[in-house]
Amino acid sequence: MLKTITLTSSSTSSSLSLPLIFKFNKTSTFSSISLPFSRTSSNSTKSLTISNFKKSPIMNSWLGKLGFGPKAQETSMDSSSSSSSSKAQGPDDDIPAPGQQFAQFGAGCFWGVELAFQRVPGVSKTEVGYSQGFMDNPSYEDICSGLTNHSEVVRVMYDPKECGYDDLLDLFWSRHDPTTLNRQGGDVGTQYRSGIYFYTPEQENAAIESRDRYQKQVNRPIVTEILPAKKFYRAEEYHQQYLAKGGRFGFRQSTEKGCNDPIRCYG
């Protein structure tokens, strides 16, 4: 969307109109925002005003943190942000089916990682979602902003009588490069970081031991974080079983147990 702004000097009557291009999604809303700045070539002060938009709660929150907007509003938003963070940082209190256990992994884009776990005998269910961040109920757009600290994760429900946790760990290490910080291939961002998120002390100990064994096989330090599983926010439905449903190009990939077909990460 093309918008024109006018820069007016407080010391002269001259003005300069410049075009700006703004990119919005369907839910983007803003209101009038004034940002002061100084021109290095003189002592005159300029003012940039963007108008005719309605502020969203998320934008209000970040503007408040930057010092813009009424104090009362800032206090209200800080309180709301604190409550949101508290929920997001709480434990994953979902309950697996009887006789089943949860495991949670972050290994880059969750599409290919989910398909790999879907193929494991003993895995009864997989879901992709967001965890470890500070925003309650984030959207995909929110986590891609880099401001919420969420990780793209796969939550695996499995039968420990048919599939050991160590088997899931072995697959986790084989599916990504745990030595690259906040990056897997061309995907860059904190949401792509490597992580093992445990539900029990036994899982924690197994994860640490597994990491130490795998470290001996690679030349660079492993940067995988090993942390308690926090609240799991299920991703939008179109992300679920994305590759099994056809992915970007409509070619469905097999979820058959034990399948060794190469995984095309984007379909």
Q: Name 81's Cβ contacts closer than 8 Å, sequence gap at least 6.
A: 61, 134
CB 239 within 8 A of CB 110: yes
Residue 245 has phi, psi (to 5 degrees) of -85, -5
- Alpha-carbon distance values, 21 to 8, 24, 50, 135 (Å): 20, 10, 12, 28
Q: Are 230 and 132 in contact (CB under 8 A)?
A: yes
The Cα 105–Cα 41 span in angstroms is 53
Two structure tokens written together for 179 = 């030595």
Rounded Cα–Cα distance for residues 20 and 81 (Å): 31
State residue 44 phi and psi, 5-degree precision. Answer: -70, 150
| C-alpha to C-alpha distance for 126 and 43, rounded to whole angstroms | 60
Q: Which residues pair with 152 in a beta bridge?
A: 130
φ/ψ of residue 190, rounded to 5: -65, -25
Q: Which residues are catalytic?
A: 109
Residue 73: strand, helix, or coil: helix
φ, ψ for residue 152, nearest 5 deg: -75, 120
- 230 three-state secondary structure: strand
